[in-house]
DNA sequence: CATAAGTACGGTACTGAGTTTCGTACGTTT
DNA sequence: AAACGTACGAAACTCAGTACCGTACTTATG
């Protein structure tokens, strides 16, 4: 039988970093400590990670690339499906290795430098969504503003669901809540889409006494935007 | 007559920092350079600003405090007025000294470290709005999610207007655009407010043939949310 | 098989941000 | 006049991040 496949240096470094951050805290851990525990030199650390913070955010670039390709592959289906899929991809990335996500969450929550970095990387996701929505809306009036709003809302919805799941210790399946939250966003922005005139008609609407205003709104929206 | 009132050391440091950043770039400017131009020692720089980046973001804390007090002072008026006022406060803070804002914008745009810091501070504003909206919505269903979405949208609307104004070199008055953008946000979220049942009634709506779907929507919303 | 080329790592030295500590000058209080 | 607090300068230190060089180990190429 083959011996235990020796893990890559990157993995050893990441594990050493997380372990030391857990034991001694982020600030009290030097890059030398991480390299020493991983059994390599300080130079090697900086060849694999460009900064001390990078050791704990290893895969943001790869995820960004996956989001980008998913969004760009939205020729056939509708844009909303592409957005929903892309957001689900992000959440799945966290849920798939929950232990790592949870440990990182605890760390990020209490180290300001890591929190700021997390926020900055979230902004990069938001930028991807904004560009996609912007291209989708074309040059309709207020396209830039609407793209900005929609991207911010999509990302905020995802973060709300993710943070709740993290705070609960990853105890449940968050995809239902994500769909609910995204449904909120989509319903919110649906009536901002510029509907095209398609022959004029008189609309007369009647509703039962027990219909909630929100149900009324949704019914009306469905009618108004069915072309 | 009194001699020219000598500026405070903080001001001298900030001006020296901006000037040197403009001349030689951010990375090529050391804290020693800044302190030397301001005529003080390196120690004094770090007594006035906790980091090199701080020299260019001097007043975020003060503005945050003003936003907070404005939001908390919303007992009499409605929450939407408070939010609008608070956002206007932020925009005014940039517009009031346009030269500083423009110079900082050019710098922040091309220095990654500064961009990340800007994003992180924006997140602190968003947190204020989120907490306010959360308290406002109380424990209605999905209050947390709706607060997150609304705060993100409000901040995104402000940033969209501000960035457009900065890109244009501060050539116009952006408050009209801000009101328009905030109107978008408010209209977007109005039909998410949980309307309370106030006696049931039958609604019958008729509209002229020429009414645009959006006009129809707005009229319906006005009726649904008039209590 | 031998040599050249490419790659991955270790070691050293350096820059610069940020912290800590100590000394000192100046103004204020009692 | 003595005690005190405050603000600054100076120096030493830690550590992240970069640049450079030397060396082993592998892989193509003659």
DSSP B204: E
pLDDT-derived band at A196, boundaries 50, 70, 90:
very low
A149·B148 Cβ contact <8 A:
no
Q: Which residues have a Cβ under 8 Å from the Cβ of A124 and sit 6 or more positions away?
A: A60, A64
| Spatial separation of the C-alpha atoms in residues A110 and A103, rounded to whole Å | 12
Phi (first) and psi of residue B143, to 5 degrees = -60, -45
A210 touches chain B (CB under 8 A): yes
* Nearest residue, CB atoms, B206 vs list A157, A189, A202: A202
Structure tokens at A196: 């095209």
A160·B148 Cβ contact <8 A:
yes
Q: Which residue has the higher pLDDT, B209 or B174?
A: B174
Q: What is the pLDDT of residues A1-33, one digit of tens each?
A: 444 556 788 999 999 999 999 999 999 999 999
A198 touches chain B (CB under 8 A): no
**Is residue B62 pLDDT above 90, yes or no?**
no
Give the CA-to-C1' distance from B109 to C24 in angstroms.
43
pLDDT score at A74: 77
A51: buried, middle or exposed (CB in 10 Å: 19+, 13-18, 0-12)? exposed
| Spatial separation of the C-alpha atoms in residues A157 and A60, rounded to whole Å | 19
Three-state DSSP class for residue B59: coil
In chain A, whose CA is at the least distance from the CA of B194?
Answer: A214
Structure tokens at A201: 């008609």
**B145, B166, B189, best to mutate vs chain A, most A CBs in 10 Å:** B145
| Spatial separation of the C-alpha atoms in residues A128 and A125, rounded to whole Å | 5
* Nearest residue, CB atoms, A188 vs list B156, B192, B201: B192
Domains (range + CATH), chain A: 9-54 (1.10.10.60), 59-190 (1.10.357.10)
| Spatial separation of the C-alpha atoms in residues A96 and A75, rounded to whole Å | 28
**Is residue A134 pLDDT above 70, yes or no?**
yes
A119·B115 Cβ contact <8 A:
no
- Residues in chain A with CB shorter than 8 Å from the CB of B148 are 156-157, 159-160
Characterise B169 by phi-psi region: left (phi > 0), alpha (psi -120 to 50), beta (else): left
Structure tokens at B8: 């405070």
Cβ atoms B13, B55 nearer than 8 A: yes
Q: What is the pLDDT of residues B94-139, one digit of tens each?
A: 999 899 999 999 999 999 999 999 999 999 999 999 999 998 888 8
B188·A185 Cβ contact <8 A:
no
ipTM over 0.90: no
Q: Which residues have a Cβ under 8 Å from the Cβ of B222 and sit 6 or more positions away?
A: none
Cβ atoms A143, A134 nearer than 8 A: yes
d(CA A142, nearest CA chain B) in Å: 9
A193 touches chain B (CB under 8 A): no
Residue A204's beta-bridge partner residues?
Answer: B206
A78: buried, middle or exposed (CB in 10 Å: 19+, 13-18, 0-12)? exposed
- Residues in chain B with CB shorter than 8 Å from the CB of A204 are 204-206
* Residues A27-48, mean pLDDT to the nearest whole number: 97
Q: What is the pLDDT of residues B1-50, one digit of tens each?
A: 444 556 788 999 999 999 999 999 999 999 999 999 999 999 999 999 99
Cβ atoms B64, B132 nearer than 8 A: no
Three-state DSSP class for residue A30: coil
In chain B, whose CA is at the least distance from the CA of A123?
Answer: B119
**Is residue A79 pLDDT above 70, yes or no?**
yes
């Amino acid at each position: 039988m083959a011996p235990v496949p020796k893990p890559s240096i990157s993995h050893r470094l990441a594990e050493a970093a997380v372990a030391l951050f857990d034991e001694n805290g982020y600030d009290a851990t030097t890059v030398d400590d991480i390299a020493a525990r991983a059994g390599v030199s300080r130079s090697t650390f900086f060849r694999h990670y460009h900064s001390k913070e990078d050791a704990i955010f290893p895969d943001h670039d790869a995820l960004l690339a996956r989001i980008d390709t998913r969004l760009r592959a939205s020729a056939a289906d509708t844009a909303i499906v592409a957005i929903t899929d892309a957001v689900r991809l992000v959440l799945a990335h966290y849920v798939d290795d929950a232990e790592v996500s949870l440990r990182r969450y605890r760390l990020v929550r209490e180290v300001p430098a890591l929190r700021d970095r997390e926020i900055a990387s979230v902004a990069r996701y938001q930028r991807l969504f904004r560009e996609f929505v912007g291209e989708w809306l074309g040059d309709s009036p207020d396209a830039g503003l609407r793209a900005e709003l929609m991207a911010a809302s999509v990302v905020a919805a995802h973060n709300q669901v993710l943070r709740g799941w993290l705070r609960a210790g990853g105890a449940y399946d968050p995809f239902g809540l994500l769909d609910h939250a995204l449904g909120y966003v989509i319903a919110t922005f649906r009536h901002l889409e510029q509907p095209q005139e398609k022959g004029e008609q008189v609309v007369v609407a009647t509703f039962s006494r027990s219909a909630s205003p929100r149900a009324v709104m949704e019914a009306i929206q469905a009618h108004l935007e069915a072309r």
